[in-house]
């Protein structure tokens, strides 16, 4: 049996998938009694719109909360 190749195109997520992931993440945080900052909400909207990747959103969040 031949191995299946996953292309970059197949790895891309749809807007609906990104929106679902964002809702699930926010729900998880709220269940822990936490809220998203306004900056994180803005990054989440940009992620769902496909303007930034999940890795870029994570890097931005880490930079905001990193101790100097």
Percent over 90 (pLDDT), the chain: 76
Give the mean model confidence (pLDDT) for residues 35-59.
95
CATH number of 14-65: 1.10.8
Give the mean model confidence (pLDDT) for residues 39-51.
96
pTM exceeding the 0.85 threshold for the entire prediction? no
Give the mean model confidence (pLDDT) for residues 57-67.
92
What is the pLDDT, as a whole number, of residue 1?
A: 54
Q: pLDDT tens digit string along 16-44?
A: 999 999 999 999 999 999 999 999 999 99
Distance CA 31, CA 9 (A): 34
**Distances in whole angstroms, Cα of residue 2 to Cα of each of 5, 27, 44, 60:** 9, 40, 38, 40
**Distances in whole angstroms, Cα of residue 8 to Cα of each of 11, 46, 50, 55:** 5, 21, 15, 16
Running DSSP on this structure, what letter comes out for residue 67? -
């Amino acid at each position: 049996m031949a191995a299946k190749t996953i292309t970059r195109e197949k790895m891309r997520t749809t807007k609906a998938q990104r929106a679902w992931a964002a809702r699930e993440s926010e729900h998880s945080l709220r269940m822990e009694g936490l809220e998203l900052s306004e900056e994180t909400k803005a990054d989440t909207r940009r992620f769902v719109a496909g303007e930034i990747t999940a890795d870029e959103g994570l890097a931005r969040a880490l930079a905001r909360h990193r101790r100097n």
